[in-house]
């Protein structure tokens, strides 16, 4: 095979993998959306409120799963197929211990039932454990299998709850079904990851790396949701409703190009600067397209996000889309910093959150436009600061000099097939 043919085959393989991961992401988000929609039809208002609260708690607890996946993927891409059982066990045990403390308190303060929080704990622990096998598939660049794994986990995490609601099991029945299917999916993920193998001479993944990746994921979640929470706190109900619809556009612009980061991460772990620049260009182009679309058809965008009664507020659409587009760039940069073993990669995000909260509480006008503009300015400043920290030459030389060369096992020809 010629070099040209090899390059074309590699591009085709990555293109297929990108489509597969994108479809898996759509499937995951689709099932996550169906749960509250179905809950609204099968639960009374109190039950629906409890379901929404439990889903939010589960999303926060699931940060450890994403952190574990990122850490495992980076480590395997950099060091080959190292053992990951011990850091996975530590992550699961720590998560379970934290849930054992937090969930009972939440049950009392948020008026949730004991069985509901217990089942949520089981479901969340299973989701966290799944991060190991998804990370191994991602780090080995077996993207087609990663897409299947993402779909399987979503089917277990959300599909079980959907089935429980549809069959009339109520809140507890839905959580029971979700917990059982989530645990069962772990066996399928182990099976899906067959043939991965372990290199006994590869260095073990440090638990600190998992904590760093989890902290970065949590910071990204907090900074991107801070404006929604502050809008609910400072705006009147009608205006906060408009803002909530706008944040649907923010999240769409943030997560639409997520597949780029998923595929780029293993190469970022090897210090591939070209991959970083390509990822930023692709994510930037996606964001620019969405901002342009919302500028031209803001009313339509707001109508699709919240219904026809919100189309009159379309003038705000570009602000929300631009904020999400900038945070999508920040997401790439933060993942690159985690992949480069940077110290405190999430520091700019926490600093931005504190500054944003302080500004909204003191000087920002309490209106939809005021908070939206402040959120956009915060996202822009965060992107600039994070970009400067990521791209500066001294970081490159420091991280590259300490990065071991990847082993052959992590870059075999099977990775292009995703299998």
Token pair recorded at residue 36: 């509250």
Whether 340 contacts 392, CB under 8 Å: no
Query: Quick one: what percent of the chain has pLDDT higher than 90?
Result: 34
How far apart CA 305 and CA 76 sit, in angstroms, is 39
Percent of the chain past pLDDT 70, that is, above it, reads 88
Q: How far apart are CA 225 and CA 233, in angstroms?
A: 13
Residue 195 — pLDDT band, cuts 50, 70, 90?
Answer: low
The 10s digit of each residue's pLDDT in 83-101 is: 788 888 988 998 899 999 9
- Report whether 196 contacts 410 (CB < 8 A): no
Mean per-residue pLDDT, 210-232: 85
Angle at CA 144, nearest 5°, toward 142 and 147? 110
pLDDT given for residue 4 in this prediction = 47
Q: How far apart are CA 49 and CA 391, in angstroms?
A: 44
Q: What pLDDT is recorded for position 114?
A: 87
Residue-level pLDDT at 265: 84
Q: pTM score, two decimals?
A: 0.76
What mean pLDDT is predicted for residues 344-348?
Answer: 88
- Report d(CA 152, CA 224) in Å as an integer: 27
pLDDT digits (tens, 9 = 90+) for 233-268: 888 878 888 888 888 888 888 888 888 888 888 888
Return the higher-pLDDT residue of 41 and 5: 41
What is the per-residue pLDDT for 112? 82
Of the pLDDT bands very low, low, confident and very high (cuts 50, 70, 90), residue 405 is very low
Residue 119: pLDDT above 50?
A: yes
| Confidence band, pLDDT 50/70/90 cuts, at residue 15 | low
Mean pLDDT of 142-147: 89
More confident residue, 16 or 71: 71
Confidence of residue 187 (pLDDT cuts 50, 70, 90): very high
Taking residues 107-121, report their average pLDDT: 87
Whether 400 has a pLDDT exceeding 50, the answer reads no
Report the phi/psi class of residue 344: left, alpha or beta, with left for phi > 0 and alpha for psi in -120 to 50. Answer: left
The predicted model gives 375-385 an average pLDDT of 95
Average pLDDT, the chain: 82
Q: Max Cα separation, the chain?
A: 66
Better pLDDT: 11 or 330: 330
Q: Is residue 363 predicted with pLDDT exceeding 60?
A: yes
- Taking alpha carbons only, the member of 351, 373, 376, 354 closest to residue 364 is 373
More reliable by pLDDT, 326 or 32? 326
């Amino acid at each position: 095979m010629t070099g040209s043919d090899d390059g074309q085959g590699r591009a085709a393989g990555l293109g297929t993998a990108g489509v597969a991961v994108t479809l898996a992401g759509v499937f995951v988000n689709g099932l996550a959306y169906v749960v509250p929609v179905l809950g609204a039809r099968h639960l009374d208002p109190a039950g629906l409120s409890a379901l929404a609260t439990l889903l939010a708690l589960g999303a926060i607890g699931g940060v450890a799963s994403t952190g574990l996946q990122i850490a495992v993927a980076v480590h395997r891409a950099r060091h080959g197929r190292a053992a990951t059982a011990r850091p996975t066990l530590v992550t699961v045990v720590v998560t379970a211990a934290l849930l054992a403390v937090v969930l009972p308190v939440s049950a009392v303060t948020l008026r949730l039932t004991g069985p509901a929080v217990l089942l949520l704990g089981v479901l969340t622990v299973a989701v966290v454990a799944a991060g190991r096998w998804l990370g191994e598939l991602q780090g080995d660049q077996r993207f087609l299998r990663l897409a299947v794994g993402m779909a399987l986990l979503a089917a277990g995490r959300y599909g079980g709850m959907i089935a429980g609601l549809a069959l009339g099991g109520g809140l507890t029945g839905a959580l029971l079904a979700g917990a059982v299917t989530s645990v069962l999916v772990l066996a399928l993920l182990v099976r899906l990851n067959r043939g991965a193998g372990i290199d006994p001479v590869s260095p073990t993944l440090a638990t600190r790396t998992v904590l760093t990746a989890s902290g970065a994921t949590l910071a990204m979640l907090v900074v991107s949701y801070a404006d929604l929470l502050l809008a609910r706190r400072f705006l009147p109900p009608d205006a906060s409703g408009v803002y909530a619809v706008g944040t649907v556009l923010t999240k769409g612009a943030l997560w639409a190009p997520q597949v780029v980061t998923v595929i780029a991460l293993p190469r970022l772990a090897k210090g591939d600067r070209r991959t970083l620049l390509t990822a930023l260009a692709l994510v930037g182009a996606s964001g620019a397209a969405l901002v342009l679309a919302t500028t031209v058809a803001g009313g339509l965008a707001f109508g699709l996000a919240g219904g026809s009664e919100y189309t009159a507020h379309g003038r705000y659409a570009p602000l929300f889309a631009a904020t999400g587009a900038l945070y999508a760039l920040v997401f790439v940069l933060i993942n690159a910093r985690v992949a480069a073993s940077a110290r405190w990669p999430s520091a700019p995000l926490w600093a931005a959150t504190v500054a944003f909260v302080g500004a909204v509480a003191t000087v920002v006008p309490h209106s939809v436009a005021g908070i939206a503009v402040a959120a956009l300015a915060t996202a822009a400043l965060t992107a600039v600061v994070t970009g400067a920290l990521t791209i500066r030459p001294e970081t490159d030389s420091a991280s590259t000099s300490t990065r071991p060369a990847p082993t052959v096992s992590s870059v075999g020809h099977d990775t292009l097939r995703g299998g």
